[in-house]
Structure 1
Amino acid sequence: MYTEQVGLCRRLLGEHYGPIVEAVGAALIRDGRLHLGSVVQRTGLAPGSVRQALAVLIQHGMATHAQTREGGRAVTYYSISPRSILRLQRAGLYLALVEERMGRDGLAVFRTIMLNGCMTAAAARSALGASERSGAAAKAKFGAAVAKLVRERFITAVAPRDTVTRADRIMQEEAKEIAKLGAPATPKDLARIRQAIRQQEAEESSSTAIVGLKRSAAAAADDGGPAKVLIGPDGRPIMLGNGLDGHGHGDGQGGGGGGGDAQPDTVDDKQCFRVYYERLDVFLRNKQIVNYFSDKYNAAAGVVLKAALRLTEAHTRTCRDRVSERITANQIIQGIPHDAPLEDGVDTGDIPHSNGSDLSDGSGARRLQRGRAALALLEVLRADASGVLSRADERGAGVFRINFERAAGVLRDKCVDALVVEKHGSQHARIVRVLRDKQKLDEKAVAHFAMLPIDQCRERLHELSLAGFVATVEIPRTADRNPSRMFYLWHVDAGRQVSAALRLVFQGLSNVAQRAAREASCRAPLLAKAQREDVVADPSLLTAPERKELQAATAARRRLDIAAVRLDGMLLVVHDVAPSPVFGT
């Protein structure tokens, strides 16, 4: 863990939860797994305050606990996740994303759960000012908003076992299975038990069941006959006759051609929910993928890829999924907005008509033209050297898959290149790209491909090596491994490169936070005056120099916020989308 990362986590905890939680979180980050007495000793706080701070961290999913037997007593140890703390600086992006997709009603529920941590639907209803005596329309509106958030996995159900450290949870399961044997476990038994536990965890992580929703009474009183399943234009199952989706939950919409009315889902008021940040990171990553291809080709290519990514979101749980489910070209075409200017983004003159006929109807001709343009753009994206979009089957117009692992590598390389250009210069970035494409090269070959003099290339290679962006590998020519009789080849070490990029990103975020605090402290009297009620009601109370200074402070704060968002986007790519074993979670 980096020093800047520790300081950034402390600052985020202090801004969101106060100095007591900041002190407790800093102790857990600095010293790792601790019990209550050790935390009290390291922070110098009262035991009651430490307990409350730990409860806050566990409530918000940033800390976990585990109980072990030491001698004749049970001791509870606590640990914290710096990755969860770093997500606090994306709160604004998360809220904007929820408002875009879920509307204002969903945003209100989401914000309440984000502020309070793990809570039930009934508690969220009370926090929003609603009660059991509220009107039926208000209750139905709230229930629909919560059900939609749960169904789209913006929030997820929480069980007591989720607050236990994963390693301890696995050890507890292993101990239970060993106890069932009634005899000391052999190495073969241990291997079988651990394999079964890993398989069970894999099944739970890939399960499509949604916990927290239950069928409405009207739907439960139905005849119970088998429902008919159809695949909608977005690739998701549509249930006919009972309004349920493929997971056994209602979507609140009609089945479209089936008998019976669709019944909306109801939320279990006793079930606790929390924000599913891993799911939200998937949406942010998809935006970066779309922006990358929009910048590389044009906006039309980004629209087509965005439609393809929208189809995969229903089956993508976290950013660590390697590939997407199969999606057909027809599904992608149907998911493209009607007002998207596809025809201007690609030339379709060399693509023949699918049926060889010419439609005289204007709307039909436009649909055919848009379909041909979408197919051409899909072919362009498929032929891209990155391999993000690949063809999985040749049936019909084609069946495609999105390789998220390669997309993560593309985004990471783009982030590294931007950091190298910012820190060292364009020539250094050119050398990094040459080594990434050509793998291992000696100095002369690097200078040749980078089109630099050998002395300048050697100097820049050593600078990049000190920064961690390139590394050397030694190939001995003799068995004695004499340094004078060795080949030294330069190459890109992915682990070291990610570590170097993280160090720069954390340093940049720390500098931005310090500069923002400095700007606020220098203009504290003016900012306090501008926030007074009389000044807010009558801005003329500020003098002309004060208004000018206030505008400068606002502009500086806006620039710092933009820099923080950009750096956080890099952090998402390097730290969450393309995780590396060189740092902890």
Structure 2
Amino acid sequence: MADAQTARLCTQIIHSQFGPLTANVASVLLTRGRLTLSHLVRFTNLRPRTVRASVLVLVQHNVLWHAQSEDEGEVLEVNIEECLLRLRFGRFVWQAGQLFGDEGAEIVQLILDHGKLCPPDIVSVLSHDDQKAVIVYSQVLHALVTAGYLKPSTILSHFSPRDKRIRYEAEEKAKIVGFPTAKELREAKETAEARLKREEEEAEKVGLKRKAKEQKGPRSAKRRKDVVDPEVYFRVNCDRFNIHIRNALIVKAAKERYNDGAALVLKTTLKVTETKQKDVSDVRTEAVSVSNIAVSLSDQEDLASGLILKNKNPSNTQCIKDYLGLLACADNPTPAGRAAAFLSHASSKVQVEFETICKRLRRRVLESVTRERHGAMGVRILRLLLDSGKMDEKQISKVVMMPNNAVRPLLANMSAQSLISTQEVAKSTDRNPARMFYLWHVDLQKAYSVILGDLYKTLFNIGARREAEQEEPMVKAVLEKRERSDVSQDEAALMSRMELDMIKEWEAKQEKLTVLEMRVEESVFILRDLGVFGINED
């Protein structure tokens, strides 16, 4: 069961893409939690046939999970993450076009439109039975599957992993003799996670099958070759595309902090290890040598322009080493320097530290929200509490050099928005509020979750504004006129100047809303998708 802001946003997404009836089914599941089909029919007040059709559509598009309950049998549950990922589908198609050309973008878009498809259907729809096009699309499809951008849709992908994780943990805990210790409970949880991950990896290996190919010649032998299994249904692997979004954010952060040369070296380092990056939960990249980075960079790149060196004509390798030293904060071997580094550089091997960078990106979002709401003084207090831990009001006032009567209301306002929290320390056993110390600190998980809810609310408001702009009577009439077959062929001649100006103004508003939505969604990506590294933050 989702919170109010997440439920509203998911319902709006499903309404805009699948219609009001399907949105009604999803809304009931989001607000009431997992339900059986009979209960779903009862709460939606729809016909059973309509509910079944809506459920089939949502299952086809990977938005619904199945779960087997011992008491009620089969129940349905909304896959909230998959629903929210639909806001990035346009970026996924663009990224596929950048990597695999127009054919790759068409394949990814077709699969996103249908949820999941098998290879013969994909090739036949896009190639229109043209033999040359069939070969091209088959090759691109094979490349997408081999690189992991498409993954097979298995039975496990339709079941909630939470239920299997709970069951596996219970099985591991049952093996413990006596009263379990904290270490044994942690090991049981890790064993259950590893078992679930192993099952998922084994299930996803069915996408490719081996095919023997004869070779002509005196040493003719059978050579094994991987081909895409035509009977397997494939879906888009969103984790693989999220890697590119994360890498782009990291390169952008390096460019803002240093310059274009440092960003180019970091981008090349990420590019060299990109094939081995499987998920945004990777702590760091594989180790790569400086020579591999130098080979991947073109000699035409002017790296020396971003550095001040004694040698007027340095080599590219020397410039790369200097940039790597900057990115690794080699001149500041303190804990603060390591926390501000983009990579680790030791013994001619380089590794990009995703965990360190992602934690820093999340804190930057927190600071930007604090600055917007409470100004520079709020950011000063936030940074002080992040660096020093728990402090009382008088200590904060003294360190930030602000009067007590100015700090007190600021702390109260920041606490009301969950940017900071309080810790009660009792002076006596009766826990009388008048005899307590109140220490202020930053609860990062609480702050991030509240900000994420506000971002979901913003995304919902953007979608509502977009619908309101489109449903405005005059704009709606003009848009309906433009969709007519005779008008679409010659808009300039068959539409008045006022109508053309109205369409131009509406398109400008839509573009601004789309840009705003992308910026907000970027913050959502940092807080939610890169939040796997924030579990143990202090």
- TM-score normalised over the length of structure 2: 0.86
2:290 to 306, 329, 352: 329
Q: Is the 8 A contact 2:325 2:345 kept in 1?
A: no
Where does residue 140 of structure 2 map in the other structure?
145
Q: Is the 8 A contact 2:285 2:354 kept in 1?
A: yes
Where does residue 332 of structure 2 map in the other structure?
none
1:368-390 deviations in Å (ceiling 9; x for gaps): 62111111111111015534534
C-alpha spacing 1:501/1:196, structure 2 compared with 1 (3 Å): closer
Q: Structure 1: 5+ residue runs without aligned partners?
A: 179-184, 226-240, 243-262, 351-364
Distance in 2, Cα, partners of 1:202 & 1:380: 37
3-state SS of 1:34 partner: coil
More helix by share: 2
3-state SS of 1:318 partner: coil
Cα distance, 1:85 vs structure 2? 0.6
Where does residue 276 of structure 2 map in the other structure?
315
Letter in 1 for 2:363: D
C-alpha spacing 1:119/1:208, structure 2 compared with 1 (3 Å): closer
Q: Aligned runs of 1:532-571 on 2, under 5 Å? A: 532-536=484-488, 537-571=490-524
Where does residue 281 of structure 1 map in the other structure?
242
1:40-70 deviations in Å (ceiling 9; x for gaps): 1111122222222212222222211123455
1:86 to 84, 87, 93: 84
Distance in 2, Cα, partners of 1:454 & 1:47: 64
Q: Aligned runs of 1:386-397 on 2, under 5 Å? A: 386-391=339-344, 393-394=346-347
Where does residue 235 of structure 1 map in the other structure?
none
1:165 to 160, 166, 173: 160
1:111 aligns with 2:113: no
Where does residue 528 of structure 1 map in the other structure?
480
3-state SS of 1:217 partner: strand
Q: Is the 8 A contact 1:388 1:404 kept in 2?
A: no
1:50 aligns with 2:51: yes
Q: Is the 8 A contact 1:303 1:340 kept in 2?
A: no
Where does residue 63 of structure 1 map in the other structure?
64
Distance in 2, Cα, partners of 1:533 & 1:465: 58
Where does residue 250 of structure 1 map in the other structure?
none
Q: Aligned runs of 1:28-427 on 2, under 5 Å? A: 28-70=29-71, 75-131=73-129, 134-135=130-131, 137-170=132-165, 187-188=176-177, 197-204=192-199, 210-218=205-213, 265-349=226-310, 369-383=315-329, 385-391=338-344, 393-394=346-347, 398-427=348-377
C-alpha spacing 1:481/1:67, structure 2 compared with 1 (3 Å): closer
Letter in 1 for 2:154: A
Q: Which moved more, 1:445-454 or 1:466-475?
A: 445-454
Distance in 2, Cα, partners of 1:345 & 1:489: 46
1:414-434 deviations in Å (ceiling 9; x for gaps): 222222233343332332223
Where does residue 19 of structure 1 map in the other structure?
20
Q: Is the 8 A contact 2:124 2:134 kept in 1?
A: no
Q: Is the 8 A contact 1:170 1:197 kept in 2?
A: yes
- TM-score normalised over the length of structure 1: 0.80
Aligned residues: 516
Distance in 1, Cα, partners of 2:276 & 2:444: 29
Distance in 2, Cα, partners of 1:580 & 1:403: 11
C-alpha spacing 1:68/1:453, structure 2 compared with 1 (3 Å): closer
3-state SS of 2:339 partner: coil
Calculate the aligned-residue CA RMSD, in Å.
3.3
Where does residue 410 of structure 2 map in the other structure?
460
Q: Which moved more, 1:415-424 or 1:13-22?
A: 415-424
C-alpha spacing 1:540/1:140, structure 2 compared with 1 (3 Å): closer
2:437 to 467, 470, 487: 487
- Percent pairwise identity: 25
Q: Which moved more, 1:152-161 or 1:526-535?
A: 526-535
